[in-house]
């Protein structure tokens, strides 16, 4: 401590000397460990990364009646939106998303030439491939009176006759229709008579304490950001169709046969899969449908979800089983033979993610085989047919999205790394378990690092924080690099136990809420007890690269060996130092990131008196060190 008088004296001397601060050659803080520039904590979000005492979020409950006409591929819908204003603000208007307008010929998307999201074997085309779609809003009414509404491409502002007061709630109705595209910007669509329906009804935008209305339009790369609430959805469709959806089926007696209901009641108590519709029954209306003609209305209800999707097809096979009381279901067309294993993959995914991170909170987890290359909605995912490894990967990845962002509701229009990346990180651990003992399973956790060289190209690579619509290589920036980031934080910085505990704390604390990056960074520090600002700066906000080097190995004047290391890149990381002694003994020394506190050169004093033959940094090649030629030194 410095006595305050001395400080005052020193300060006055500075001013008496008359020099400006610049003239005295001040140093700015360029330390890699300087505090990350984050938004201030507030009564809504604490400095420890938790919802504050005045945290609020809006609630939206939907009642939707929809008719799907397979002869015209058209959906007509009427929805009643119950909106609860939990904010401290009066709202003069509301914003809604009209995501189907991504397919409008006059929309922004039709004029763009966006790079597709290319995965190793498949590509997501964020266009509608020229399909002249878009939603027609027929009416917006409150208490039978029209509400003024303005459509701006994929968003709509609904003006209120008077502002909605803090704490007040309201109900209004929207009527609309659209024609189902075959490729709905890679997230929904149809293949023949199989429909995968999502981003389909006018949805309330999120109003939050960080940005007010989050009314960024749907352009393609940013998926969706929606409020939590309940759904009561009725879908009317010709009777030959089997329908599955977000939520629990409310009227099985109307839409399923007695035999199907009996099989389902067994499946919910069975760890072993049960065929609800077997191969020889699929597409046979007499065996699978309670009535032979006309329409049926399927009614589903869900709570604590941020969206609602459904799928319908006339010839689907249907397998079901349960894990810990959760109904797990797969629906697939007869030709998708590899999908017979999908139910086992589904059970393992839901069990693994539940046991490892946070228990799956919904009554069912269902996946549908179809044209969409892989997409997730609450309780329901769309997955294509693929090779065994790819099928497990995509199926498990889409189920992983039930955790990020369905349970932990981060903003996908801005931060895909918080859902795609976190999920990809979890998926690798899950896939290693499913394929344990195979070459694929035992090496899958190396994949993210193996992708580094081909994707982290200096001058081209973009920081994770880049908005998804501006990202050129979403495969790397939103999926693989953030997965590598968490893998290294877990295995090399915090250690698995400390990381897993903190990551679980993040999930539990922000379940059914809306965290932003600062909340995540803060709670990871708060729970793990380690300041990680340096780590997030390098990995999220920059494209910093790592180059650790061994520069000198010599006899220490106090005995033992002097090992001089240098951090030559702009990224800091801890290190593992492998020392090989002359007698062949090996010692591995973990060195903490704090070794760089005093600058980029660090001298380690190895006190062992044994003669050293060689030293090597990162012997397991776990870090993305861009120059390995300087990682070792022999004596």
User: Which listed range, 110-118, 242-250, 280-288, 416-424, lies at the site for Zn ion (CB under 5 A)?
Assistant: 416-424
What is the DSSP pairing of strand 135-142 with strand 169-179?
Answer: antiparallel
Question: How many C-alpha atoms does 514 have within 13 Å on its Cβ side?
Answer: 26
The three-point CA angle 165-170-173 to 5° equals 140
Q: Is 223 in the site for Zn ion (CB under 5 A)?
A: no
Shorter beta-carbon distance to Zn ion: residue 44 or 119: 119
Q: Say how far residue 168 (Cα) sits from the centre of its chain.
A: 32
| Least distance in angstroms from the C-beta of 414 to Zn ion | 16
| Least distance in angstroms from the C-beta of 478 to Zn ion | 8
DSSP 3-state percent helix, strand, coil across the chain (nearest 5): 30, 30, 40
Query: Can you list the alpha helix ranges (DSSP code H) found in 466-549?
Result: 474, 481-488, 496-510, 517-528, 533-536
Shorter beta-carbon distance to Zn ion: residue 420 or 538: 420
* Dihedral of the alpha carbons of 249, 255, 257, 259, in degrees to the nearest 10: -10
State which residue has the least CB distance to Zn ion: 420
Shorter beta-carbon distance to Zn ion: residue 131 or 422: 422
What is the DSSP pairing of strand 326-332 with strand 364-369?
Answer: parallel
DSSP 8-state code for residue 407:
I
Longest Cα–Cα distance of the chain, Å, equals 98
Q: Would you say the C-alpha torsion 411, 414, 416, 422 has a positive or negative sign? A: negative
Shorter beta-carbon distance to Zn ion: residue 134 or 421: 421
Shorter beta-carbon distance to Zn ion: residue 420 or 547: 420
Shorter beta-carbon distance to Zn ion: residue 61 or 420: 420
| Least distance in angstroms from the C-beta of 90 to Zn ion | 37
| Least distance in angstroms from the C-beta of 38 to Zn ion | 26
Shorter beta-carbon distance to Zn ion: residue 56 or 124: 124
In 3-state terms, what secondary structure has residue 347?
Answer: helix
Measure the CA–CA gap between 495 and 593, rounded to whole angstroms.
13
Q: Which long-range contacts (CB under 8 A, 24 or more apart) does 465-473 make?
A: 465/415, 465/417, 465/517, 465/540, 465/541, 467/222, 467/413, 467/414, 468/221, 468/222, 468/412, 468/413, 468/414, 468/416, 469/114, 469/219, 469/220, 469/221, 469/222, 471/221, 472/115, 473/115
User: Which listed range, 65-73, 388-396, 418-426, 531-539, lies at the site for Zn ion (CB under 5 A)?
Assistant: 418-426
Which of 99, 390, 402, 420 is in the footprint of Zn ion by CB under 5 A?
Answer: 420
| Least distance in angstroms from the C-beta of 380 to Zn ion | 14
Shorter beta-carbon distance to Zn ion: residue 281 or 420: 420
User: Which listed range, 123-131, 304-312, 352-360, 413-421, lies at the site for Zn ion (CB under 5 A)?
Assistant: 413-421
The two counts, helices (H) then strands (E), for the chain are 16, 34
Measure the CA–CA gap between 50 and 522, rounded to whole angstroms.
8
User: Which listed range, 192-200, 328-336, 417-425, 542-550, lies at the site for Zn ion (CB under 5 A)?
Assistant: 417-425
User: Which listed range, 30-38, 352-360, 419-427, 549-557, lies at the site for Zn ion (CB under 5 A)?
Assistant: 419-427
Q: Is 99 in the site for Zn ion (CB under 5 A)?
A: no
| Least distance in angstroms from the C-beta of 424 to Zn ion | 7
User: Which listed range, 35-43, 127-135, 228-236, 420-428, lies at the site for Zn ion (CB under 5 A)?
Assistant: 420-428
User: Which listed range, 91-99, 278-286, 351-359, 414-422, lies at the site for Zn ion (CB under 5 A)?
Assistant: 414-422
Instruction: Kindly write down the DSSP assignment for every residue of 90-132, as one continuous string.
Output: -EEEEEEE-GGGGG-TTSHHHH--PPPEE-SS-EE--S-TT--
Shorter beta-carbon distance to Zn ion: residue 174 or 372: 372
Shorter beta-carbon distance to Zn ion: residue 202 or 468: 468
Site residues for Zn ion per CB under 5 A:
420
């Amino acid at each position: 401590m410095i006595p305050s008088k001395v400080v005052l004296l020193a300060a006055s001397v500075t001013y008496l000397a008359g020099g400006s601060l610049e003239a005295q050659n001040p140093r700015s803080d360029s330390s890699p460990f300087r505090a990350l520039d984050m938004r201030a904590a507030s009564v809504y979000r604490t400095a420890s990364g938790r919802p504050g005492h005045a945290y609020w979020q809006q609630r939206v409950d939907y009642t939707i009646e929809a008719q799907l006409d397979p002869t015209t591929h058209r959906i007509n819908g009427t929805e009643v939106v119950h909106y609860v204003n939990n904010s401290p603000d009066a709202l003069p208007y509301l914003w809604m998303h009209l995501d189907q307008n991504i397919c409008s010929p006059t929309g922004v998307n039709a004029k763009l030439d966006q790079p597709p999201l290319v995965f190793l074997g498949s590509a997501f085309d964020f266009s509608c491939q020229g399909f002249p779609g878009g939603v027609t809003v027929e009416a917006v009414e409150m208490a039978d009176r029209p509400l003024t509404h303005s459509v701006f491409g994929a968003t709509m502002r609904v003006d209120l006759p008077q502002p909605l007061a803090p704490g007040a709630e309201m109900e209004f109705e929207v009527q609309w229709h659209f024609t189902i595209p075959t490729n709905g910007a890679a997230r929904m669509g149809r293949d023949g008579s199989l429909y995968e329906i999502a981003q389909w009804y006018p949805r309330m935008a999120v109003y939050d304490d960080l940005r007010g209305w989050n009314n960024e339009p749907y352009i393609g790369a940013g998926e969706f950001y929606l409020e939590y609430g309940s759904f009561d959805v009725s879908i009317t469709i010709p009777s030959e169709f089997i329908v599955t959806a977000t939520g629990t089926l409310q009227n099985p007696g109307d839409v399923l046969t007695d035999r199907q209901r009996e099989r389902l009641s067994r499946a919910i108590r069975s760890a072993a899969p049960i065929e609800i519709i077997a191969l020889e029954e699929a597409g046979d209306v007499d065996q699978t449908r309670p009535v032979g003609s006309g329409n049926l209305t399927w009614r589903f209800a869900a709570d604590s979800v941020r969206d609602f999707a459904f799928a319908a097809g006339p010839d689907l096979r249907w397998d079901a089983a349960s894990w810990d009381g959760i109904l797990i279901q797969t629906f697939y067309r007869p030709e998708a033979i590899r999908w017979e294993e999908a139910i086992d993959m589904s059970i393992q995914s839901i069990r693994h993610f539940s046991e490892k991170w946070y228990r799956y909170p919904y009554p069912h987890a269902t996946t549908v085989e179809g044209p969409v290359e892989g997409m997730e909605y609450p309780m329901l995912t769309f997955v294509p047919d693929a090779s065994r490894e790819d099928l497990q990967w995509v199926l498990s990845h889409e189920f992983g999205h039930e955790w990020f962002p369905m349970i932990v509701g981060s903003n996908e229009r801005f931060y895909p790394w918080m859902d795609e990346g976190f999920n990809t990180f979890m998926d690798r651990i899950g896939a290693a378990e499913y394929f344990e003992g195979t070459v694929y399973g035992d090496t899958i956790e190396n994949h993210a690092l193996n992708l580094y060289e081909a994707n982290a190209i200096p001058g081209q690579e973009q920081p994770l924080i880049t908005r998804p619509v501006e990202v050129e290589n979403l495969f790397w920036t939103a999926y693989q690099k953030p997965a590598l980031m968490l893998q290294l934080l877990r295995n090399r910085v915090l250690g698995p136990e400390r990381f897993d505990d903190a990551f679980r704390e993040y999930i539990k604390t922000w379940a059914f809420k809306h965290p932003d990056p600062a909340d995540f960074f803060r709670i990871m520090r708060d729970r793990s007890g380690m300041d990680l600002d340096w780590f997030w700066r390098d990995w999220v906000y920059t494209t910093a690269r790592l180059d650790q080097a061994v520069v000198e190995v010599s006899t220490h004047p106090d005995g033992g060996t002097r090992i001089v290391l240098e951090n030559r890149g702009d990224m800091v990381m801890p290190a593992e130092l492998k020392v090989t002694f002359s007698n062949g003994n090996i010692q591995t020394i973990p060195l903490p990131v704090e070794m760089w506190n005093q600058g980029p050169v660090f001298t380690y004093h190895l006190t062992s008196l044994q003669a050293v033959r060689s030293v090597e940094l990162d012997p397991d090649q776990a870090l993305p060190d861009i120059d390995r030629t300087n990682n070792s030194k022999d004596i």
